[in-house]
Amino acid sequence: MITQIIFLLVTAVGVFFFCKSIAKIRRNINMGKPLDRSDKPLLRLKTMGLVALGQSKMVVRPVAGFFHILIYVGFVLINIEVLEILLDGIFGKHRMFQNLLGKLYPIAIGFFEILAFLVILACVVFLFRRNVSKVKRFSGTEMKGFPLFDANAILYTEIVLMLALLLMNASDRQLTGTMPISSWFAPLFQNMSEHSLHIVMEICWWFHWIGILVFLNYVPYSKHFHIIMAFPNTYYSNLSPKGKIENMESVTTEVKLMLDPNAVPPENYESPLGFGAKDVTDLTWKNLMDAYSCTECGRCTSVCPANITGKLLSPRKVMMDTRDRLEELGNAKDKNGKDFNDGKSLHDRITDEELWACTTCNACVEACPVNINPLDIIMQMRQYQVMEQSAAPSELNGMLANLENNGAPWQFSPADRGNWSN
């Protein structure tokens, strides 16, 4: 009974802090502007099924896609054994599913062990690709410091958790010598007494469970949060054609009201206080959800033509900067109240050079494995610079002036259009 109480207390503390982190992230996302993404629910479910559950965009790069699927499937199915550990801890039992499944139980555990081994193998491959072969898309100024530590820490943690599971099985007399993977470790325990084996198994059991709780609470601070966010983020994907740029509703309404003296403002209409995005609170909640869903895989940056040609723009950095700024603002509001404004902006992190290097080609949007849209954030920040700061590049200002005065981007009189249009 004491063991059960300790187990419940430890589990309750872990779940409490995880829920607290989730509540804070939800609050941060809700700081964004409203956006209606409730249309076409069946198509949204299909998109989520294909992209998040089916990993359809991961396999575009076969090597990474294959090993990522191994980890994904392994963790999903191994959670069945984790469920057994949870129930054992709550009810003070040992391998509750054994009586339920009968002869199928060792088959199931053997299958889970094979999956655990494949997860370890995939993690080793990813560690090699990141630290030894140094795949180019894993590098970049934004990938130094914590992002580099985080990427490796996740892989090492997954390996340790899988090894703890295998060692737990290897030290269990009910399974010793019968399992396909844990039997490799059985010789380590062959000279131990029953009492010593029981202690080893209990240590591995507790280590595995506490490790899961620690991992659970680390995930919201990590790029690995995409294992949760990928599902809602793909469900709320933009279903419009990628090349379609929506008109700014606030601008359209203001222009209509100016041109037509008899026009009636929409119900509850309030004139906009500004245009475009100065800070994260000017972005939509979906933009902020995108930021929390970023896997930092670098696929977006690796296909960005501006980045390929040596420009500063990195779509991955745009998403990471957005998330970091949102976290910074959220922490400041926690300390100083919900109405606090620290006087900073997203433009302090993302430079003009980065914003105007973008060609709006949508390559980053197409490449993202969880349907993140960095271009939308870039466009809104550009709109702020042009419409609020008049800070567009001189070349763009010249073109806009020509459009306004001449009806074309070139510096020719409309009266002479026939001379050059042919």
Is the predicted pLDDT of residue 174 greater than 70, yes or no?
Answer: no
Bridge partners of residue 284, in order along the sequence: 33
Angle at 420 between CA 417 and CA 422, to 5 degrees: 100
Instruction: Give me the number of domains the chain comprises.
Output: 2
Structural contact between residues 314 and 140, judged by C-beta atoms closer than 8 angstroms: yes
What does the pLDDT read at residue 245? 82
Q: What are phi and psi of 80, to 5 degrees?
A: -65, -40
Under the banding of pLDDT at 50, 70 and 90, the label for residue 103 is confident
DSSP string, 134-146: --GGG-SGGGSSH
What does the pLDDT read at residue 221? 94
SS3 210: helix
Mean pLDDT of the region 316-333: 96
The string of pLDDT tens digits covering residues 114-136 is 999 999 999 999 999 999 999 99
Burial of 343 (0-12, 13-18, 19+ CB in 10 A): exposed
Does residue 418 belong to any structural domain of this protein?
Answer: no
d(C-alpha 372, C-alpha 290), whole Å: 5
Does residue 313 belong to any structural domain of this protein?
Answer: yes
Same domain, yes or no: 128 and 7: yes
Does residue 39 belong to any structural domain of this protein?
Answer: no
Mean pLDDT of the region 31-60: 95
What does the pLDDT read at residue 199? 92
Which of 34-38, 181-185, 223-227, 277-281 is the least confident region? Answer: 181-185
Nearest Cα neighbor of 137 from 301, 308, 307 is 301
Same domain, yes or no: 205 and 319: no
What does the pLDDT read at residue 62? 93
Same domain, yes or no: 18 and 143: yes
Same domain, yes or no: 77 and 216: yes
Same domain, yes or no: 290 and 199: no
What does the pLDDT read at residue 346? 97
Structural contact between residues 227 and 52, judged by C-beta atoms closer than 8 angstroms: no
Does residue 249 belong to any structural domain of this protein?
Answer: no
d(C-alpha 270, C-alpha 411), whole Å: 38
- Single pTM value for the model: 0.90
Does residue 126 belong to any structural domain of this protein?
Answer: yes
Same domain, yes or no: 282 and 214: no
Same domain, yes or no: 207 and 278: no
Is the predicted pLDDT of residue 83 greater than 90, yes or no?
Answer: yes
What does the pLDDT read at residue 379? 95
Q: Among all chains, which residue has been given the structure tokens 């008109």?
A: 247
Does residue 412 belong to any structural domain of this protein?
Answer: no
Nearest Cα neighbor of 81 from 54, 111, 103, 121 is 111
Does residue 41 belong to any structural domain of this protein?
Answer: no
Mean pLDDT of the region 306-333: 96
Domain coverage including residue 211 = 2-30+61-227
Structural contact between residues 22 and 334, judged by C-beta atoms closer than 8 angstroms: no
Query: How much of the chain, in percent, has pLDDT values that exceed 90?
Result: 68
Q: What does the block give as tokens for 196?
A: 């010593």
Under the banding of pLDDT at 50, 70 and 90, the label for residue 422 is low
Same domain, yes or no: 282 and 197: no
Query: How much of the chain, in percent, has pLDDT values that exceed 70?
Result: 98
The string of pLDDT tens digits covering residues 357-390 is 999 999 999 999 999 999 999 999 999 999 898 8
Bridge partners of residue 120, in order along the sequence: none
- CATH code for position 279: 1.10.1060
Under the banding of pLDDT at 50, 70 and 90, the label for residue 407 is confident
Does residue 419 belong to any structural domain of this protein?
Answer: no
* Mean pLDDT, rounded, of the chain: 91
Same domain, yes or no: 171 and 314: no
